[in-house]
Amino acid sequence: MTKTNQNSLAVLILAAGQGVRMKSSKPKVLHKICGKPMIYYTIKVAKMLNPSEIFVVTGFGSKDVAQEIKKFGVRSIVQEEQLGTGHAVKISIPCIKDFDDLLLLYGDMPLIKSTDLELLLRDFWATGSSVSILSTAVKPPSDFGRIIRDSKNEFAEIIEELDATPEQCRIGEVNTGIYCFRISDLLEVLEEINNKNAKGEYYITDCVNMLRKRGKKVSVMVAPDSTNFIGINSRVHLVQANAVMRGEICERLMDSGVTIIDPATTYIDDEVEIGQDTIIYPYTYITGQTRVSSDCTIGPNTFVSDSVIGNRTTIAYSVVKGSEVMDDCNVGPYSHLRPGSVVMKGGKVGSFCEIKKSVIREGAKVPHLSYVGDADIGANANVGAGTITCNYDGFNKHKTVVGEGSFIGSDTMLVAPVRIGKNATTGAGSVISKDVPDGALAIERSDQKNILGWDKIREKKAEKRLKKG
């Protein structure tokens, strides 16, 4: 955002609360929405405003929160006792006192939009206010402080819900709790606030009211969409915010050229990238740092996490984690690519397969019912049904290498470490524990024995058991 003046702006994000109604040992702001802790979204929006610095006030689980926000390059301030919003700002004075303006945000309000905050800042700078308040209209107006206006429809005061009269509780314009203060004016009143209220806390709203009583300019900017100000105080609120954000993510992707068959049953994380003309079928989860290219078909009933998917690739009824699936590949149905797996161009991992930390090279196929672990499957090789790479000896993992163009017969056990040469073949049902040269056929089977009259022998054995029983 381009400022209308040269004042320095600090952003203070309040994130000290435990969130008692969450019933959790985890700090409230670390609960995830669309794959990211909710504090991430507030920091993300704050950074879009290009402030001079961002601070986060931590409290419950401060070490965990500080570790998380460190990833985003912001500073933390510890509030040892959670005595209210006014107290949180008080303890931040040493960090914010040298800035001109302060934008106050909340770590449990992940749906806020940069456009709303830009409007607030423009109003603050344009009106020369000591404080600008961001309000919105809510029906029914619960859990928020009420904006009280005078006979001229100008701001008079903020009343917290617990301290409001029944008549004031019916007021539809509510305080979002987001403010922009002129710091010099804020410091004049901050030390004077007290906790003589229903909650016994120090309210930052008291600073707003005191500035108004002292004749300072207080302006109110009304945000049009109250949904952006959902505060997360319970698991129910968490679900509500997830639903809103999932809808926004799906809408953004559809606007960019992605087909999502049923957004209501599609779960895509915030940082996921998906290319044009890709189709996402219902009950698909795409999470983490995943990038899906163009013209793909993903789903239904598919989970893809922290993976890279190439162009024109199909993944159905399968799980792909921490893997790369390149162009023109097919995965599934009902297969699992575990972390460290790579399926190269034109590769196939068919039905009921598990691939672990392996490379399936160009055009190679693992069509069905196989486990491939710690292996390198050469280009255009074909791994027959029921093949298993026996990679673990009880102590260490070992590697299997299958050469280019090789054919692995059905139900082959490849006992690693073992190397199958180029264009080699293994006979069905073989246990291969030694290297196979290029172009060779390896068969390992015991001689077949046919015992004649076995049906009669079985009958006699059954008769004896009946007599003894």
| Active-site residue set | 368
Give the residue from 445, 352, 355 showing the smallest Cα distance to 402.
Answer: 355
Residue 460, token pair as written in the block: 């006699």
Element spanning 459, H or E = helix 454-468
Quote the crossing angle between the two packed helices 38-47 and 62-70, to the nearest 10°.
40
- CA-to-CA dists, residue 74 to 22, 50, 88, 382, angstroms: 25, 13, 17, 52
Element spanning 147, H or E = strand 145-149
Amino acid at 285: Y
Element spanning 360, H or E = strand 359-360
Quote the crossing angle between the two packed helices 205-213 and 183-190, to the nearest 10°.
100
Please, where are the H alpha helices in 36-193?
A: 38-47, 62-70, 85-90, 93-96, 114-127, 166-169, 183-190
Cα separation, 341 vs 319, whole angstroms: 12
Give the residue from 229, 232, 225, 107 showing the smallest Cα distance to 176.
Answer: 229
Query: What residues contact residue 4 under an 8 Å CB cut-off, 6+ apart?
Result: 122, 125, 126
What is the DSSP track for 207-243?
Answer: HHHHHHHTT--EEEEEES-GGGG----SHHHHHHHHH
List, in sequence order, every residue forming a beta bridge with 354; answer none if it has no partner. Answer: 336, 371
Amino acid at 47: K
